[in-house]
A and B are shown apart, each in its own frame.
Chain A
Amino acid sequence: MKKKYSIFSLIKNSFSYHENWGKAWKDPEPKKEYDAIIVGGGGHGLATAYYLAKKHEMKNIAVVEKGWIGGGNTGRNTTIIRSNYLWDASAGLYDHALKIWENLSQELNYNVMFSQRGVMNLAHNLQDVRDLKRRTHANRLNGIDAVYLNTDEVKKFCPIINTSPDIRYPVLGGTLQKRAGTARHDAVAWGYARGADSMGVDIIQNCEVKGIKRDGDKVDGIETTKGFIKTNKIGVVAAGHSSVIANMAGLRLPLESKPLQALVSEPVKPIIDTVVMSNAVHAYVSQSDKGELVIGAGTDDYISYSQKGSHEIVEGTLNAILELYPLFSRMRMLRQWGGIVDICPDASPIISKTSIKGLYFNCGWGTGGFKATPGSGDLFAHTIANDEPHKLNAAFNLNRFTSGDLVDEHGAAAVAH
C-alpha cells in the first residue's frame, strides 16, 4: 500500500524537504505473461486496469503505453464533464461516469480537482430550442439534473455572455447541468496509475504494440517494442489509434481518426466560473484553476494522425468566441495543440467484444471521451472480466453497425423549411 496523500503527509514531508516521497507508480519491465493486457495508458486504459484489479480480482495485468501515460487525448482535451445526453443508453453511461467522478478524488486519494461548476449548452435557433428542451425532458425522466434556461437566466448564470438580440445568432436559451463541470486531466491518468500500481498492475511505458498474435479465433498475446507478451485477454483503449491496432488483428472498425484542436489563453484572474458550450456557433469555453481560458475547437474533416489541424478551425473557433464574448478580444492565445480522435458514425463509443475471442475494444469516443473516463474504465473492466458487457454498455456494441440500432447522438440534422 502506498503512503496516503493528505495535508498531514505534506507537512510531515516538508520537514525532510520532500525528499522521502515514494514513486507514484513503478516503471517495470514487462513480464512474460499476463492475465490481461490493456493497450493504451490513457485515462480510460488506466481506469480499466484499476477496476479490473479492484473489482474483478485480476492482479496479474499490465497496461502498455506507446509513449508516456496520459499523453494522448487525456492530456489534450478541454476536460468538460457532463451527463446530459439525449438517449437512454448514453445518459446511463455518462451518468454512471459522473457518479464516480463525484467521489473520485477520495477513492483514488489523488485530487483530480473535479469541480461541479456547471455546464451550460446554448440554443441559437428555434430547432436548437426544441432539441435542448427535448434533451432536458429526457434528462429529467432519466434522473439527470438538467434544466432549461431562458435567455435572462443564461445571462444571470454567466454574465459575460453576449445575449444581445442583435448578434448574428442570438442566444435563445440554454440548458444547465449543475452537477457537470471540469477536472484536472493529468491528475486523472496519474491518480488511476497510482491506484492501479498499488494493486500490482504493471504500467509499462515506452512500449509500442507492433502486432497481435492470434491462435485461431482467439488472441495469444502482443508483439511489442519490448518483446512478445503472452495473454489471452487484450483490451484496446488506444483512442486515435484504435484502427491501427484493429488492423493488426485483421479487423476493421467503423472509425475515422481526425484532428481535434484546442487552445488556452494566457492566465487571468477569474472571469468565467462555469463551462459554456454552444454547438450552433461552435464555441466551448471554461477557465482553468490556473486562470487560462480553455477553448475547444472543432475537428477537421480529413483523416490524420499528425496531431495537427488546420488554422481555419482555430480561426473559426475564435470568431465564435468573440461573437459570444466580445470582451475577450484583447485576450491572447498562449498555446494551441491538436489530438487525434476516432469518431464513430453515430458519435457514440464502442465498448465491446469483437469477433476474435479475448480481444475487446473501447474506442470511438470522438471529441467527448474524457468525461466518461471512470465509467468507461469500470464498464470495460466488467466486459473484459466477464466476457460480456454490463447492461450499461450493452448498447455500445459493435453489432449495432450491422443491425442499424445506432445510438445517434448527432441528434437532429438541424434542417428546417
Chain B
Amino acid sequence: MNKNLRVKSGKIIDETYRISFQFNGKTYYGFQGDTLASALLANDVHLVARSFKYHRPRGIMTAGSEEPNAIVQLHDNSDRTEPNVRATEIEIYEGLVASSQNCWPTVNFDIGGINNFLSPLLPAGFYYKTFMWPASLWEKYEYFIRKSAGLGKSPTKADPDVYEHRYIHCDVLVIGSGISGIIAAKISAKNGFKTLLVEEKPNLGGSTIYQNSDHFKINNQNSGSWLDKEINEIKKLKNLEIKTRTSVAAYHGYNFLLARESLTDHLPIEQRKGKTRHRLLKIRAKKVISATGSIERPMIFDNNDRPGILLSSSIKRYVDLFGVACGEKNILFTNNDSAYETAISLIQKGINIEAIIDNREEIDSRLVYEVEKNNIKIFKGFTVTDTGGYKRIKRISIMQLSKDGQKVIGSKINISCDCLGVSGGWTPAVHLFTQSGGKLKFRDEDQTFIPDSYPSDQLSIGACNGDLTLDEILGNVPQVLKKFLNIEATEYANLETLSSTNKSKRNIWLLPTDKILGKTKSFVDFQNDSTAKDIKLALREGFRSIEHVKRYTTTGMGTDQGKLGNMHALGIISETADAKMGKLGTTTFRPPYTPLTFGTIVGRNVGEFFDVFRKTPMHEWHTDNKAEFENVGQWKRAWYYPKNNEDMHQAVQRESKAARESAGILDASTLGKIDIQGTDASEFLNRVYTNAWSKLAVGKCRYGLMLNEDGMVYDDGVTTRLDENHYIMTTTTGGAANVMSKLEDYLQTEWPELDVYLTSVTDHFATVSVCGPNSKKIISQVIPDLDFSDKNFPHMSFKNAKIGKINCRVMRISFTGEQSYEINIQANYGKSVWEKCMEAGKDYNITPYGTETMHLLRAEKGFIIVGQDTDATMTPIDLQMDWIVSKKKYDFIGKRSLYRSDTIREDRKQLVGLLTEDPNEILEEGAQIVADVNKSPIEMLGHITSSYYSPNLKKSIALGVVKGGKNRMGQKLIIPMEKKNINVTVADPVFLDKENKRLNA
C-alpha cells in the first residue's frame, strides 16, 4: 500500500469528490482538482518515466507546462490515446488511464536501462562518429536506433473528437493571470478596453493565489487573500472575457496570436461526446500584455535527475494548492531566497525539513531568519555534489563551496532524504515575447534575459519582465500600464506592500564537485539526457555557436523545448568559451510555446470540410444516374455513366459511339465563364489571345489560345461576341480562377486606359452541350421558337433564345467535331433544361457522356486539352497551331517570347498523332517515345499525352509530343515499355473527319 501524503486540503482540492484513475495498471485515488502529478505524488508515486537516451528512472519535477520528465501515454490502445502528455498538466477525471512510456517491460524494470551503463560510449553526437562500417549495415543499426528512440506511441485510429476555430478581435489581450495579469486585466477592462484574459491553468491567480504567509502582504492582508478579492471583482467586469485552460501557443507579427482553449480534456470520457475538444483561438489584439511569469531554474550537479528531485517552487505549489507533500524527509537546495518560501509553507503544514543547502554564505533575509527560528539546519555556502538512490532519491552529498565558487572544499557530508527541492533562481518566461520578434537584453545581477525592445504594440509586465518580487511588481506594473494604455490613473497607485524576499543570489551555472566532470552526469536537458559534459564536449570539438551546441547535444530539443535547462546550457558555454552571456545570444524559441495538437490547428477542416466540393446544378441527376466522378480542381465532374456493370472502357466506348452516331449530352457547366464588357473589349481580347478579334461579328464565336508572357500555352476556350461591346469568354475548368486573376492583373496594372470590365460568371450559368448528328432535332424540340437552319444558325455562332419564359444563350460550337449546341441558362434551371433535353432526345438514344468520352471524342479530332497535351513548355507553334498566332498583331501576351533563340528552334517537341502497328494496342499516357532503343543512354524524343481506343475508327489513336515531330510524319518510332517495345507511326493528329464535314452533317 502506498503512503498517503495528502496533508491538508489544498486550495483547489475538493476532498468531497474522490476520483479513481489508473496508472501503469494500478488503481489510485485522487480528488477533484488534482493533476495526475499531484494525485500520484499524494500516493507517494515518484517514478513515472524513463529518460530518452539512457532510460534513467525519472519522476515529477515541476508542476506545470515546463515539465521535462513526467510525460505519459493516456488511454493506450484506445481511439483517444495520446502520447507525451505532461502529468503536471492533465487534470484527473474518473476513469483516467495513464501509463509510462519509453520503457519495456515496465517503468520499474526497464531493459533499456542498460544504456545508462553504456553511457560512456554514448556521448553527445556519438552517432555521427560510428555506425558507418560496413555501409550496408547502417539501415540495420538505424532500425534499432529508431525503435529505442521516440517517446510515446502514435495513435493508430481516427480521432473521435472534434475541434474548432474562433476568431477574436480585442483591444487588449492579457496573457497570464498571475498577480500582474489580474491587475492588467482589471485596469484595461475598467478603462473601457475590450479585454481578453487567458490563463493556461484551470484556475486564476498564478503563484500569488496560494501565498498565505505573513511575509507577503498587500494593504495589510496576505497577498493570496488580496488577489482572491481582485479576482472576484474582475469576474464581474463586462468588458472582460476570461478564458482558463487556455494556452497561448504562438505570437506572430502584427499581434496575431494563437491560443488553445481546452474544453473537455478534464472530463470523464463519457461526458465528452458531442462536445468540442479544443478550440483554437485566432486572436488579433490591438495591444498585447504579456504577464507570463517566470520559470524556476533547476541546479546542475551530479545525478540531479533522480525521482524525488523537484523544483522547490513546485513543492510549494503541491503543498499549498493541492495539499500534497512530495516527501517525508525533505531537503531544499537553493542559491536564492525563494526556497525559503517553500520551507515556510512546509513548516506551516507540519512537514519535515531535514536541511536547507544554500550556495550563499551570508544572507540577510527575513525569510531565512524565519526558517532558522524553526530550528531547521541551513548549510550556508554549501552545495550538493551528488545524490544517491536509483528509483527514488535516498540521500545527498554536500560539500562546502570555495570562495570563488569554482571548487568544493572540506569534507563530504551525506544526508538522507526522500525529496529534494532545488531552486536556481528564476528565468522570466520570454518565449512568446521573442516569438513576436522582441529583442532581449541580459541582466547581470541575476543572470537573466529580459525584454528590451518591442516589435509591435505590446508590453511585458511582472515576472516575465524581470520584476521577480512582490514589491517590484506592485510598484512597477500600475505605472507602466498607465503609460501603455494611455490612461490617467489606476486604482493601484497607493498600495501598501510587504515583501520579504531578499534578491541576493549566488549564481553558479555548473556546480563544482569533487569528481572529474567526465565521471558525472549533471543533466542540463533532462528529457534528452544531455549533460554538462556533453556541452563541454561539443565546445571542445569546435561547435561554438549556441545553435551548434544545441543541435550537437540536442539540448533544448525535447518536448519541453528546454524551458528548464536552456539558460544553464548558455551559462556553461559562456563560462567554458569565456564569452559574455549577453553577447552569445540565445537559441530561438520556436512556436508553439507548448505542443499543439494537429487536430486543434486543423479545426473543422477535416473529412468533408477538407476542401470545397463544387457541384454543377445537374450534379444530382448525375448521381441519380450512377455517374462516376473525377476531381477537376475543386469540381466534381461526371467522368462516365456505367450501365449494367460496364467498366469504364465499355461505358466510354458506348458513349462515344452514341455521340457520333446519334446524340450525346454533356454537362459543360464547369468551364470558366468570364463576362467582358466595355468599349475596348475587342482590343483587350486582341492583347490577351494570340489571334485577332476586332473583326469578329456580333453573334459569332471564336476559339482563342492564351499564352503566358513566356510564350507557353496557358489556357484556351471559345469566346462569343454577344454585342458590340460585350463578350463572354470560356476558359478551362481548372484554369478559370487563374485566367480571371491574370486578366484583371493586366487590365488594372498594365492597361488601365482600356475601358473593360470583367466579371466571373462561372457559377451563374449552367451549360448543357448536346452533340451528334441528331443534336439539331433534339435541341429544336427544347427551343421550338428558334430557327436552327444552318443559314440562320451556322457553326461558330450564337443566338439569344427562351426556354419557356427563361432567357438562355445558345452557342453552336463543337469540341467533339460533331454538330453541337450549348445551352447556357441561369444556373437554377440547369437541371430542368438537362432533363428537357433528355426527354426530347429519348427517341434518338440521347446518351449522357462524361469527361472521359469527351476526351476521346476530341482526341479523334486532334483537339488539345491544355494541361494534358501541353505542359508549361509548349508554344502554339509546337502544337502545330501556327494558324492561330496572328502575324499582323503588333503585340499580345507572350508574343515576344515566341522569337527567342530556343523557342524558334525547328526541333522542339511538337504535337503529333501516333498510330500503333497493332490497332488494338492502346498506348499508356505518359509513356516515352524514342527512335532507337539500342542507344545508350536512350534518347527520349517525347511522350504520349493522350491515348484511347477509338470505337468510331476501330483502332487505337494517340497524341504525343515528339522532338521535330512536324518533320517526322510517317516515321516509325518506338514506345519502350518495361517489358516490351511498341512500334508506332507518326501521323496527322486529326484522325477523323479532316474536312470537318460532320459539323454540318
Contact = CB atoms under 8 A, between A and B. Distances in A.
B561 interface: yes
A17 B516 contact: yes
Interface stretch (B129-137, B316-324, B476-484, B757-765): B129-137
Contacts of B519: 17
Contacts of A167: 607, 610
Contacts of B870: 412-413
B17 interface: no
A168 B611 contact: yes
Interface stretch (A211-219, A237-245, A268-276, A374-382): A268-276
A25 interface: yes
A157 interface: no
A265 interface: yes
A408 interface: yes
A404 B158 contact: no
B295 to A, nearest CB: 18
Nearest to A71: B547
A410 B870 CA distance: 12
B608 interface: yes
Given A130-B926, A327-B159, 13 more contacts: A21-B537, A105-B138, A114-B138, A137-B927, A140-B978, A267-B559, A291-B150, A322-B606, A326-B606, A327-B155, A335-B592, A404-B901, A415-B867
Interface string A322-339: 110011111111111100
B154 A415 contact: no
Contact of A330 (B82, B516, B559, B815): B82
A22 B976 CA distance: 55
A225 interface: no
Interface in B953-1001: 976, 978
B215 to A, nearest CB: 40
B937 interface: yes
A405 B925 CA distance: 25
29 contacts: A5-B128, A6-B132, A17-B519, A17-B533, A113-B142, A116-B139, A117-B139, A133-B925, A133-B926, A167-B607, A167-B610, A268-B150, A268-B152, A271-B154, A315-B602, A321-B598, A322-B606, A322-B610, A327-B158, A328-B598, A329-B159, A332-B596, A333-B592, A333-B598, A335-B591, A345-B710, A408-B871, A408-B873, A415-B732
A120 interface: no
B551 A186 contact: yes
B537 A18 contact: yes
Contact of A115 (B127, B142, B258, B559): B142
B897 interface: yes
A416 B865 contact: yes
A208 interface: no
Given A6-B133, A334-B559, A335-B561, A412 B868 contact: yes
A386 interface: no
A247 interface: no
Contacts of A372: none
Contact of A311 (B80, B256, B854, B873): B256
Contact of A111 (B82, B130, B591): B130
Nearest to B864: A417
A331 B613 CA distance: 27
Interface of A: 5-7, 9-11, 14, 16-19, 21-27, 67-71, 75, 88, 102-103, 105-106, 109-111, 113-117, 124-127, 129-138, 140-143, 160, 167-169, 184, 186-187, 190-191, 205, 265-271, 287, 289-291, 306, 308, 310-311, 314-315, 318-323, 326-337, 345, 400, 402-406, 408, 410-417
Contacts of B903: 404
Contacts of A21: 537, 540-541
Interface string B614-631: 000000000000000011
Interface string B539-565: 011111101100110100001010000
A5 B161 CA distance: 50
B872 interface: yes
B714 A413 contact: yes
A248 B978 CA distance: 51
Contact of B133 (A23, A106, A169, A266): A106
Q: Which of A137, A138, A311, A405 counts the most chain B CB atoms within 10 A? A: A137
B71 to A, nearest CB: 9
Contacts of A314: 601
A330 to B, nearest CB: 5
Given A111-B128, A270-B150, A412 B596 contact: no
B610 A330 contact: no
Contacts of B871: 408, 411-413
A50 B938 CA distance: 33
Nearest to A307: B588
A132 B865 contact: no
B866 interface: yes
A7 B146 contact: no
A111 B131 contact: yes
B135 A417 contact: no
Given A23-B541, A291-B146, A412-B872, A331 B601 contact: no
Contact of B937 (A5, A142, A320): A142
B145 interface: yes
Contacts of B52: 267
A266 B559 contact: yes
A332 B596 CA distance: 5
A191 B552 CA distance: 12
A330 B868 contact: no
Contact of A141 (B147, B542, B543, B937): B937
Contacts of A408: 871-873
B contact face: mostly helix, strand, loop, or mixed: loop
Interface of B: 52, 80-84, 120-121, 123, 126-133, 135, 138-139, 142, 145-147, 149-159, 161, 250, 252-253, 256, 258, 282, 516-519, 533, 537, 540-545, 547-548, 551-552, 554, 559, 561, 588, 590-592, 595-599, 601-602, 605-608, 610-611, 613, 630-632, 671, 710-711, 714-715, 732-735, 815, 851, 854-855, 858, 865-868, 870-873, 897, 900-903, 924-928, 930, 937-938, 940, 943, 945, 976, 978
B542 A26 contact: yes
Contacts of B83: 266, 268, 331
A21 B126 CA distance: 12
Contact of A334 (B595, B926, B928): B595
Contact of B541 (A22, A322, A411): A22
Contacts of A290: 149-150, 554
A414 B734 CA distance: 7
Contact of A106 (B132, B151, B159, B897): B132
Nearest to B135: A106
Given A269-B153, A410-B872, A5 B129 contact: yes
Contacts of A406: 710, 873
B735 A415 contact: yes
Contact of A11 (B121, B158, B253): B121
Q: Which of B132, B855, B924 counts the most chain A CB atoms within 10 A? A: B132
Contacts of B540: 19, 21, 23
Contacts of A311: 250, 252, 256, 258, 282
A129 B924 CA distance: 11
Given A270-B150, A308-B253, A169 B732 contact: no
A397 to B, nearest CB: 12
A327 B602 CA distance: 13
B602 A329 contact: yes
B110 to A, nearest CB: 15
A17 B440 CA distance: 36
B595 to A, nearest CB: 4
A125 B872 contact: no
Contacts of A265: 595, 598
Contacts of B541: 21-24
Contacts of B252: 308, 310-311
Contacts of B938: 141
A291 B151 contact: yes
A1 B534 CA distance: 24
